[in-house]
Each structure stands twice: as C-alpha cells, then as structure tokens.
Amino acid sequence: MLFRTPKNLPPFLFALTMPVLLAACSHGAPAPQAAPAVIDDHGVLRIAEASTLRKRLKVQAVEQRELPHALTAPALIEADPGHTINVLAPVSGRVLELKVKLGDHVKRGELLALIASGDYAQAQADQRKAASAQELARRALDRARGVQQAGGSAQKDLEAAQSGFEQARAEYERAQTRLASLGASVSGAHGMAVLSPTDGSITALSVGVGGYANDPNAALMTVTDLGHVWVTANVAENEADLVKPGIDAEVILPALPGRHFQGVVQSVSDVLDADSRRVKTRIVVPHADGALKANMFATATFQVPQPKALLVPQSALLMNNDSVTVFVEVSPWAFARRTVELGPDEGDQARIVKGLAPGERVVVAGGVLIND
C-alpha cells in the first residue's frame, strides 16, 4: 500500500500520523493459519503428516491370552485325618497310670497308660499255659523219636506224639496272637501297657487315672501327627464349580504375616454345608517347619483357569458419557472411535468382552489428545 503526503500537511504532523497509518494497515491484513493436527474425515480421525502427535501416540495390537482368575475363600487349618489316630482301650479295665497329658509330644511305641484288666491277665495266663503245654509236647515228641529209633516203639506212638505237639504249638500261637492283638507286647508291673501307635501330639484326652475303660469303641486319647495338616477352604456356592482338584492355591494367615504357603487342591466336597452355603475344599500344603497349627484362620486364593481373554492396557480406555471407547487404527495414522464392553479388571490390563478382535491395533497412549 502506498501513502501520499498531503501537500499542506506540516512535516511534524506527518511524523505523528505515520505510525497510526502503518498499524491500521497491519491490522487489516489476515494472519496465516496453522494446519490442523487432526483431520476428521467422516468419523475417521487422521493425524496430519507434519503433526507432532505422531511422536506422542503409541499404538499396540490387542492381545489374547489365558489369564487365571484369582478366587478367594476363608479357610481353616485342620489336622490330616490320615495322620490322626484314636487310641482305643484294647481291653476293659481300670486306668492305673496315665503317662501323658494333653498337648504332649510322643514317639511311636512310647508308653501312654497302664490298665489293670482281668481280660489281659487271663490272656497272659493262657499264653503261659500254652507255652508250657507246647514245651511238654515237644519233650514227649523227642522221647517218642528216641524210642522209635531204638526199636522199642511202634510208628503209631510216634505219630500220636507228633500230633500232640502240633496241637500244643497251634494253641500257643493262638494264645500269643490273642495277647498281641490286645494292643501291646509290653506289660507293666501292675497292668497292660497302652503304647503310642505313631509319632505326634496328644490332641484329645478323655480318660483319667482311676477311670474305667469299658467301651471298646470309646477313644482314651487321640494322637495327631501335626506335621501333616490340611487347609480347608470354604468356597461360596456360586463359585464351587470353578475349583477343581489339582489347581494351585496360595494360603496366607493373619497369625503369620509375610508368609505365603503354596498348595494344591486335593479334593472338593460333593456336599454343600446347609448353614454356610459353602463347599469344603481340601488343600494339601507342605508343612516342614510346623508353623501351621490346627484351627488357625487362613485365607485361600485359587488360580482358577479362565477362557482366553482379549486384553488392552487401561490407558487405552476413554470415557465417553456412559460408554467406554478406544481408538482403533483403520489405516496408518488414521483412527476410528469404537465402543467396547469390559469384563473384570486384571490389574493394569482391561479385559475386553465385546467390541474388539484379536490383532486389531488400538491407541494405548495419547488417545486423550485425539479425543480433545
């Protein structure tokens, strides 16, 4: 634009008005516009070639993999019934001595109690009588053999002595077996000895000195090997079908903070508890150091297998009113918004139930920049 100086305008006024005229001219000229970073092409958002967004976006393929689901249930430490033995009174009688108390540790074969019993005394007498008869029959057989060899006895006399000895030996073996079946081959000075059948701890005691053991089915005490325990988890009714024998389980206890016990499900009960509406699930846990005590409270977490799931990082998800969307790559640097349906969260990954297919590429970082 050219400016002409009025002929009658003084020079100093011209100097004053010139900057104003230049500013007016500058204001009237349109400024050049920057190219848009994102171009909306009928719903497809294209990132311009010169846009810095290309350096800030991260695109990743949708992943499909098996992802175990953690299922948690309350649990209780219980003694393994396979290593729990109820000690019964082998004979009826009165308890003369009690060598242990509740909670004591015992060894296999250790003396637990002495019982004064007429039945045991009779069994001992029968055994001694049979032993004496067997010895007498043996001597008679030896004499018959000697006489027969000397020619002074008939064959039938030797056969009769042989038969008498066999009968005496059979009676002795019967009496010996009867005595052994009473539960111990050791007798005390005043009664029959009751011995521990295994290593373990006395976890129940139902008899005292002077008491009578008259019921052959009533346990005098219980010996439990606490080196073998079960973790019994109570799984909710609606989740019981997810837990199967052989799956892994992790057990933690409030009483042992910081410790985690790894185990395997051994069995799942077929019976639902009527009161709790839960199913008892037995977990076998290695227990070398004896840290687990019967009746301790615990929590069991099962790694339940799940069908293969589609997973995307949580950072790929965008909230759009009441729906969740992601940007799907339809061509290089071109993206379309798609609504997805979510399943349970898996930490920093989101499970996609509907809306995506394996291998599709989505924006996992910087999607909010496109959204804006």
320 & 290 share domain: no
The residues that bridge with 249 in the sheet, in sequence order, are 263, 302
Per-residue pLDDT, 3: 43
Q: Which residue has the higher pLDDT, 10 or 80?
A: 80
Is residue 39 domain-resident? no
**Sign of dihedral through CA atoms 361, 364, 370, 372?**
positive
Evaluate whether residue 96 is within a structural domain. no
294 and 229 belong to one structural domain: yes
* pLDDT of 221: 92
Q: Which residue has better confidence, 6 or 90?
A: 90
Query: Do residues 241 and 285 share a domain?
Result: yes
Residues 300 and 234 grouped into a single domain: yes
**DSSP for residue 187:** B
Token pair, residue 1, equals 């634009």
In a domain, 58, yes or no: yes
Say if residue 1's pLDDT is above 50. no
Q: Where is pLDDT greater, at 21 or 168?
A: 168
* Domain of residue 320, residue span: 44-67+308-371
| Residue 162 within any structural domain of the chain | yes
Which pLDDT tens digit goes with each residue over 226-238? Answer: 777 889 999 998 8
Span 82-111, average pLDDT: 88
CA atoms of 322 and 325, how far apart (whole Å): 10
Residue 215: inside a domain, yes or no? no
Q: What's the average model confidence in pLDDT over 342-356?
A: 84
Do 254 and 295 fall within a single domain?
Answer: yes
DSSP 14-28: HHHHHHHHHHHHHHH
Q: Of 285, 304, 323, which one is at a domain's C-terminal end?
A: 304
pLDDT band at 31 (very low <50, low <70, confident <90, very high): low
- Phi and psi at residue 312, in whole multiples of 5°? -135, 155
Q: Is residue 265 scored above 90 in pLDDT?
A: yes
Confidence band, pLDDT 50/70/90 cuts, at residue 89: confident
Segment 31-49 mean pLDDT: 76
Look at the chain and report how many structural domains it folds into.
3
* Domain-ending residue, one of 156, 185, 214: 185
Q: Is 347 left (phi over 0), alpha (psi -120 to 50) or beta?
A: left
Q: Mean pLDDT throughout 80-89?
A: 86
In this structure, the answer to whether residues 256 and 243 fall within a common structural domain is yes
Helix 155-181 with 118-150: angle, nearest 10 deg: 160
**Are 309 and 351 within 8 A, CB to CB?**
yes
What CATH number corresponds to the domain at position 139? 1.10.287.470
- Are 178 and 134 found together in one domain? yes
Percent of the chain's residues with pLDDT above 70: 86
pLDDT at 283 over 50: yes
Residues 233 and 299 grouped into a single domain: yes
Based on the domain organization, do 241 and 298 belong to the same domain? Answer: yes
299/339 same-domain check: no
At 2 the pLDDT is 39
Q: 3-class DSSP state for residue 275?
A: coil
Mean pLDDT of 240-260: 90
pLDDT at 189: 46
Over residues 142-188, the pLDDT tens digits come to 888 887 777 766 778 788 888 888 998 998 888 888 777 665 444 44
pLDDT of residue 184: 47
Quick one: pLDDT band at residue 33, thresholds 50, 70, 90? low
Q: What is the predicted pLDDT for the residue at 250?
A: 92
> Which residues, including other chains, have CB under 8 Å from residue 346's CB and lie 6 or more apart?
67, 309, 311
DSSP 8-state secondary structure symbol assigned to residue 81: G
- On whether the pTM is more than 0.85, the answer is no
248, pLDDT greater than 80 = yes
* pLDDT (0 to 100) of residue 245: 92
> Measuring CA to CA, how many Å separate 57 from each of 86, 241, 336, 340, 355?
71, 43, 14, 20, 21
For residues 23 and 59, give the distance between their C-alpha atoms in angstroms, rounded to a whole number.
48
Model confidence band, residue 10 (pLDDT cutoffs 50, 70, 90): low
Q: What is the DSSP track for 209-245? A: TT-EE--TTSEEEEEE-TTSEEEEEEEEGGGGGG--T
Average pLDDT over every residue of 65-72? 79
Q: How confident is the model at residue 222 (pLDDT cuts 50, 70, 90)?
A: very high
Phi, psi of 156 (to 5 degrees): -65, -30
In a domain, 127, yes or no: yes
Mean pLDDT of 84-104: 87
What CATH code is carried by the domain that includes residue 240? 2.40.30.170
197 in a structural domain: no
Q: Find the CATH number of the domain harbouring 332.
A: 2.40.420.20
Of 185, 207, 241, which closes a domain?
185
| Nearest to 140, CA basis, from 160, 155, 154 | 160
pLDDT value of position 299: 95
Q: Average per-residue pLDDT in the chain? A: 82
On the question of pLDDT at 5 being above 60, the answer is: no
Average pLDDT (35-63) is: 84
Statement to judge: residues 264 and 291 lie in one domain: yes
